[in-house]
């Protein structure tokens, strides 16, 4: 019979050191709030019930933490009296009688399912408490895990550790699993006889051992247990997350010329045989199909790039951009909420917004779809195999038919039928010799101004 499990997510901190206007667990990693990463790992570990212990920005935190496949309850921690006190804020949920209680933190977004499953396995083997720890070459500042004959004897804070204990490199990661049948009684026995007068969850190890129970530690990679207290640590976690995600994509068949310069979002989906050049940024909601090339210095968000398409260099795809197979959006182009048909080309210095561009159509340099009238957005419809000459402005709502040609420098305000040629520019006038007259006039005026200033 499968064991039931309740995960308690501690997310009530005031985030003082973040110096932020919002709870630190709402700060994004890979474009997604930290606590949402934690919740995803819990779901991957098969945990279907979670209790959130909330404080600052409780409603906002609860909103981003909820998942369809998981029952989530919330509890407000009104006092800050230590981690054991925070866990007891969810005492009503613990009392529901789960086999396992898993305690995690909302600011450890790099945790994966593997250590959580290992901790639960330790409970299934008959232990009362399982602490998730890590090995490190720099243990200073961490509580040490005191292990004897495979049993976890205590968690010793550095200030209380002996010289020999300080040499221990097996450190406390903060996350732990507790036997659900004993959790409340064990936590309620934790005292606050310490300098801060707080109730520390780490004391549960000695409480369990004193009651004749057993405690063990399981190891996780140090990076998975990285917590966040300030903006510098936030950047460090982001860097680790980005390295992990880049590696996953490259192993799956994505080529990155300079991976350390590519920045991904939590939901970036890139198929195999895609090439990504240096200095590319992916915001949320981007999908890249096989064989596409994303050239250097491009920025994509909320966009779909079809198979074999090319983007950039120096291109921007905004939300709603949908590039068909073998299409091209070139340098210094911006596409927003627009369909670019198969084989169509938007080569350079162009803005295409709120538009439909047909297959194999060519959009000349400097073309603009004038989609905004100051109040509302309007649609530009361009058919297949059309040609839009350079430096043209298409004033929406307007349509250009299949095979039509728009002359360079045109301002198009009326629909253009299929296979028609449209001119929308002023008539050119030539005045022979006039340039020489004007040049002489301008030079004389400049000389006069210079003479006046000298006097």
Look at residue 319 and tell me if it is in a domain: yes
pLDDT digits (tens, 9 = 90+) for 282-317: 999 999 999 999 999 999 999 999 999 999 999 999
The pLDDT value given to residue 124: 95
Do 277 and 395 fall into the same domain? Answer: yes
279 is in an annotated binding site: no
Look at residue 384 and tell me if it is in a domain: yes
Q: Where are the alpha helices (DSSP H) in 75-148?
A: 83-88, 91-94, 113-124
pLDDT digits (tens, 9 = 90+) for 321-371: 999 999 999 999 999 999 999 999 999 999 999 999 999 999 999 999 999
Asked if the model's pLDDT at residue 47 lies above 60, the reply is yes
pLDDT digits (tens, 9 = 90+) for 425-442: 888 788 999 989 989 999
The pLDDT value given to residue 438: 86
Indicate the pLDDT class of residue 417, thresholds 50, 70 and 90. Answer: very high
Look at residue 367 and tell me if it is in a domain: yes
Do 153 and 295 fall into the same domain? Answer: no
371 is in an annotated binding site: yes
Task: Find the mean pLDDT for residues 393-413.
Answer: 96
End-of-domain residue from the set 205, 225, 245: 225
209 is in an annotated binding site: no
The pLDDT value given to residue 429: 84
pLDDT digits (tens, 9 = 90+) for 92-122: 999 999 999 999 999 999 999 999 999 999 9
The pLDDT value given to residue 425: 82
Asked if the model's pLDDT at residue 1 lies above 70, the reply is no
Do 391 and 305 fall into the same domain? Answer: yes
Do 204 and 276 fall into the same domain? Answer: no
Do 218 and 321 fall into the same domain? Answer: no
Asked if the model's pLDDT at residue 183 lies above 90, the reply is yes
174 is in an annotated binding site: no
pLDDT digits (tens, 9 = 90+) for 210-262: 999 999 999 999 999 999 999 999 999 999 999 999 999 999 999 999 999 99
Asked if the model's pLDDT at residue 196 lies above 60, the reply is yes
Q: What is the pTM of this model?
A: 0.90
Task: Find the mean pLDDT for residues 411-417.
Answer: 95
236 is in an annotated binding site: no
Alpha-carbon span 248 to 259, nearest angstrom:
12
Asked if the model's pLDDT at residue 62 lies above 90, the reply is yes
30 is in an annotated binding site: no
Do 279 and 159 fall into the same domain? Answer: no
Least confident range of 185-194, 212-221, 252-261, 401-410: 185-194
24 is in an annotated binding site: yes
120 is in an annotated binding site: no
Look at residue 444 and tell me if it is in a domain: no
pLDDT digits (tens, 9 = 90+) for 19-46: 898 999 999 999 999 999 999 999 999 9
User: What dihedral angle (degrees, nearest 10) is formed by the CA atoms of 333, 339, 344, 350?
Assistant: -20
The pLDDT value given to residue 112: 97
Residue 454 CB partners (closer than 8 Å, separation 6+): none
212 is in an annotated binding site: no
Whether 351 and 372 have beta carbons less than 8 Å apart is answered as: no
Indicate the pLDDT class of residue 157, thresholds 50, 70 and 90. Answer: confident
The number of folded domains in the chain is 2
Task: Find the mean pLDDT for residues 63-87.
Answer: 90
Q: What is the mean pLDDT of the chain?
A: 94
83 is in an annotated binding site: yes
Residue 341 CB partners (closer than 8 Å, separation 6+): 324, 327, 356, 357, 358, 359, 360, 361, 384
Do 85 and 139 fall into the same domain? Answer: yes
Give the CATH number of the domain where residue 193 resides.
Answer: 3.90.550.10
- Look up residue 201 and give its DSSP letter: G
End-of-domain residue from the set 207, 225, 243: 225
Give backbone dihedrals phi and psi of 78, rounded to 5 degrees, phi first.
-90, -20
The pLDDT value given to residue 318: 98
Do 98 and 166 fall into the same domain? Answer: yes
Do 340 and 209 fall into the same domain? Answer: no
Reduced 3-state DSSP string for 378-444: CCEEECCCCEECCCCEEECCEEECCCCEECCCCEECCCECCCCEECCCCCCCCCCCHHHHHHHHHHH
Alpha-carbon span 365 to 347, nearest angstrom:
7
**Maximum C-alpha span of the chain:** 107
Whether 302 and 286 have beta carbons less than 8 Å apart is answered as: yes
The pLDDT value given to residue 17: 87
Do 197 and 287 fall into the same domain? Answer: no
Q: Which domain holds residue 359?
A: 253-422
Q: How far is CA 330 from CA 323, 351, 371, in A?
A: 12, 11, 20
326 is in an annotated binding site: no
The pLDDT value given to residue 356: 98
Least confident range of 107-116, 199-208, 271-280: 199-208
Look at residue 391 and tell me if it is in a domain: yes
Do 288 and 418 fall into the same domain? Answer: yes
Look at residue 451 and tell me if it is in a domain: no
The pLDDT value given to residue 81: 86
Look at residue 302 and tell me if it is in a domain: yes
Look at residue 259 and tell me if it is in a domain: yes
229 is in an annotated binding site: yes
Do 145 and 265 fall into the same domain? Answer: no
Q: What residues are labeled active site?
A: 348
| 176, containing H or E segment | strand 170-179
Give the CATH number of the domain where residue 322 resides.
Answer: 2.160.10.10
Q: How far is CA 196 from CA 161, 162, 186, 375, in A?
A: 17, 21, 21, 59
End-of-domain residue from the set 210, 225, 240: 225
């Amino acid at each position: 019979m499968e064991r039931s499990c309740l995960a308690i997510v501690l997310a009530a901190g005031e985030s003082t050191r973040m110096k932020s206007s919002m709870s630190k667990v709402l700060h994004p990693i890979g474009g997604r709030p930290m606590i949402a990463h934690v919740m995803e790992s819990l779901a991957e570990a098969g945990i279907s019930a979670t209790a959130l212990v909330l404080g600052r920005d409780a409603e906002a935190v609860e909103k981003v933490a909820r998942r369809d496949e998981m029952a989530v309850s919330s509890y407000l921690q009104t006092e800050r009296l230590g981690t054991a006190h925070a866990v007891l804020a969810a005492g009503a949920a613990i009392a529901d009688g789960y086999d396992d209680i898993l305690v995690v933190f909302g600011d450890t977004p790099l945790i994966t399912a593997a250590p959580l499953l290992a901790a639960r396995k330790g409970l299934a083997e008959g232990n009362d408490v399982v602490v998730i720890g890590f090995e490190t070459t720099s243990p200073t500042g961490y509580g040490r895990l005191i292990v004897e004959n495979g049993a976890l004897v205590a968690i010793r804070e550095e200030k209380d550790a002996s010289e020999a204990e300080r040499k221990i490199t097996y450190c406390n990661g903060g996350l732990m699993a507790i036997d659900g049948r004993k959790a409340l009684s064990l936590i309620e026995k934790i005292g606050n006889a310490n300098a801060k007068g707080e109730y520390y969850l780490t004391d549960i190890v000695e409480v369990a051992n004193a009651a004749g129970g057993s405690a063990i530690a399981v190891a996780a990679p140090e990076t998975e247990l990285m917590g966040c207290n300030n903006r510098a640590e936030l950047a460090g976690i982001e860097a680790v997350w980005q390295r992990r995600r880049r590696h996953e994509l490259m192993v799956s068949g994505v080529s990155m010329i300079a991976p350390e310069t590519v920045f991904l979002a939590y939901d970036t989906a890139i198929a195999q045989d895609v090439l990504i050049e240096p200095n590319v940024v992916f915001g949320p909601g981007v999908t890249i199909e096989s064989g596409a090339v994303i050239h250097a210095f491009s920025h994509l968000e909320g966009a779909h790039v079809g198979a074999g398409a090319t983007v950039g260099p120096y291109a921007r795809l905004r939300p709603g951009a949908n590039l068909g197979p073998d299409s091209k959006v070139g340098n210094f182009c911006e596409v927003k909420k627009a369909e670019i048909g198969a084989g169509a080309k938007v080569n350079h210095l162009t803005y295409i917004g709120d538009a439909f561009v047909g297959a194999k159509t060519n959009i000349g340099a400097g073309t603009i779809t004038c989609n905004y009238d100051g109040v509302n957005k309007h649609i530009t419809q361009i058919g297949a195999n059309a040609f839009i000459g350079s430096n043209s402005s298409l004033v929406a709502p307007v349509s250009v038919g299949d095979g039509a040609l728009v002359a360079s420098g045109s301002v198009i305000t009326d629909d253009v039928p299929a296979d028609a040629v449209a001119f929308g520019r002023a008539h050119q006038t030539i005045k022979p010799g006039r340039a020489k007259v004007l040049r002489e006039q301008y030079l004389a005026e400049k000389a006069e101004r210079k003479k006046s200033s000298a006097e």
